[in-house]
A and B are shown apart, each in its own frame.
Chain A
Amino acid sequence: MAVIKTEDLTYVYGDGTPFRKVAVDHVNLEIEKGDFAGIIGHTGSGKSTLIQHFNGLLRPTSGSVYIDGERLWDNKARLRPIRFKVGLVFQYPEYQLFEETVYKDIAFGPKNMGLDEDEIDRRIKETAKLVGLSDSVMQKSPFELSGGQKRRVAIAGVMAMEPEVLILDEPASGLDPKGREQILGMIKEYHKAKGNTVLLVSHSMEDIARNVSKILVMNDSKLFCYDETAKVFHRSAELEKMGLAVPQVTRVFDRLKAMGFDMGEDVYTVKFGSGLLLDRLGKKGAK
């Protein structure tokens, strides 16, 4: 059964005012348990609005959202348990830190869940290790840390709740390439270790292509498609028309194809592409 399902999900900002804006328009979607999916779409296409429906932060203007088959907003008291099931990390999450120490800040979510001390401690230690926060950092004030470290603390704060579905809104934005790589690496690690569903909003096609197995494309408030990475990047012409770039290496191989060098397969990571290329060159006897 799909862990997240939406039916004609529509959300309108400022309904009944001159600033009315349909941000999510009749989205029908099913996300399976264990999927590691990327969410892409141009600026203002409704990605952030969409994901805030998955844990009941926004109430649909019309249509419904089901988590594990349970329809949200039928019973408001059920929203809090749902938020423990579906963890959402906002864009620039470091601005939500507030506790005296990093340890306490990460403990905020698990504490709200009503877990006992030992379990909270276990989870904090485990996530701290996963995101690479040393013991000395754990006792510091979160406001003394560097931007990248703060980001990790904030993400750890949600991961420690061990949600069945982890959603991250541009977790790597504003970081240098190494910082990006580390953040994405730890998200991948989390997915592998727990086998939980992970949704990742990102503007970087390279990051998406390297990490996820499925892609959800939003275009102008509408769902364009939700499919396997390869199949989505195969529609590169359509993506580019929406103002979305496919990974650079995919473009290179598209051009090669246009020039008559058909590799037979779609390429969207440099690693796969170079392997394919070397293979081909090797077959022809070149070195």
Chain B
Amino acid sequence: MIKDITIGQYFPGNSVLHRMDPRVKILLTGVFIVMLFAAKGIEGLAVGILFTVTAFLFSKIPLKMMGKSLKPIIPIVIFTAVLNLFFIRTGKVLWEWKIIKLTQEGIDTSLFMVIRIICLICGSSLLTYTTSPIDLTDAIERLMSPLKKIKVPVHELAMMMTIALRFIPTLIEETDKIMSAQKARGADMETGSLMQKAKAMIPILIPLFVASFRHAEELALAMECRCYHGGEGRTRMKQLKMSILDLWGSLFCGVFLAGVIVIDRVLG
């Protein structure tokens, strides 16, 4: 059913990660990515894995959800693994058949890459799992606000994103209703050739467009009635505030980053 599409992947909760400031979370996700790419050897990566697992445990997100976010990247993982397995031709040869050659180095590298990708996806999806889309846009707006100096309409962009996010469920609901109404008039959307199916979308798309324009007009009017005039001098109902949690989070992240670098230097 069309309703089952989830928007973003926010998983409501009250864990430590949920309560952290979204700005800090975005920045720390950046640090996390640096951490993974700083790791040159398997030992450094082990620290990265440890960090991912700890962050995951702190987030209290069910393991099932993690599996869900990994599903779409399975092809990429397989592709990376195969590429590294067969195209790295240096190192001790383990098995050879015609032009195919498996080497120890190939296996090591492909394992390393696969683990790194999985960590990358799991770790960064924690950001979207623990931060609502609205908080996320808010934080992006704040982080990008220096760009206002070079005339980038940061507030307007963020506002557009917020509005778009807000209206996705509304439009899904509307699509459902219109589909039901046209089905009740005998519209047939399941059978027929591709051309016929495309044509069958018209009775749904037109009312949907009309509805979107209506929503846009009503919303614009409502915003004007409330004296909305853009970002200049605008204060927020929900202030983003950093707390001691964010300090601990940053410290935690910093320690692991240092850990990765040191271990790589010492053992690598």
Chain A residues proximal to chain B, CB less than 8 Å? 52, 55, 57, 80, 83-84, 87-90, 93, 95-98, 108-109, 112-113, 143, 157-158, 161
Contacts and interface: CB of A to CB of B under 8 A. Distances in A.
A83 B202 contact: no
A158 to B, nearest CB: 7
A140 to B, nearest CB: 16
Contact of B184 (A83, A95, A113): A83
Nearest to B202: A98
B186 A90 contact: no
A55 B210 contact: no
B265 interface: no
B14 to A, nearest CB: 15
Interface stretch (B16-24, B102-110, B133-141, B175-183): B175-183
Nearest to A92: B177
Contacts of A89: 184
B80 to A, nearest CB: 35
A96 B186 contact: no
B163 interface: no
B43 interface: no
Contacts of A90: 177, 180-181, 184
Interface residues of B, number: 18
B207 interface: yes
A95 B178 contact: yes
Given A80-B188, A108-B203, A143-B210, A96 B178 contact: yes
Contacts of A109: 185-186
Contacts of B183: 57, 83
Contacts of B210: 95, 143
B211 interface: yes
A153 B210 CA distance: 17
B142 to A, nearest CB: 32
B186 A157 contact: no
15 contacts: A52-B180, A57-B183, A83-B186, A90-B177, A90-B180, A90-B181, A93-B181, A95-B177, A95-B211, A97-B207, A98-B202, A108-B185, A109-B185, A112-B188, A113-B186
A113 B186 CA distance: 7
Nearest to A88: B184
A97 B178 CA distance: 9
Given A95-B207, A95-B210, 12 more contacts: A57-B184, A83-B183, A83-B184, A93-B181, A95-B177, A95-B211, A96-B181, A98-B206, A108-B185, A112-B186, A157-B185, A161-B185
B176 to A, nearest CB: 10
B203 to A, nearest CB: 5
Contacts of B203: 96, 98, 108
Nearest to B204: A98
Which of B185, B206, B207 has the most CB atoms of chain A within a 10 A radius of its CB?
Answer: B185
A79 B245 CA distance: 57
A109 B184 CA distance: 8
Shortest Cβ-Cβ A-B pairs, 3 listed: A112-B186, A98-B206, A96-B181
A4 B182 CA distance: 22
Interface string B218-250: 000000000000000000000000000000000
B181 A80 contact: no
Given A98-B202, A98-B203, A143-B210, A55 B178 contact: no
Contacts of B207: 95-98
A113 B174 CA distance: 25
A80 B182 CA distance: 12
B208 to A, nearest CB: 9
B187 interface: yes
Interface in B137-195: 174, 177-178, 180-188
A104 B45 CA distance: 66
A109 B181 CA distance: 11
A158 B180 contact: no
A55 B183 CA distance: 10
B192 to A, nearest CB: 12
A108 B199 CA distance: 13
B180 A57 contact: yes
Contacts of A112: 185-188
Nearest to B205: A98
Nearest to A160: B185
A87 B186 CA distance: 9
Which of A93, A96, A157 has the most CB atoms of chain B within a 10 A radius of its CB?
Answer: A96
Contacts of A98: 202-203, 206-207
A93 B181 CA distance: 8
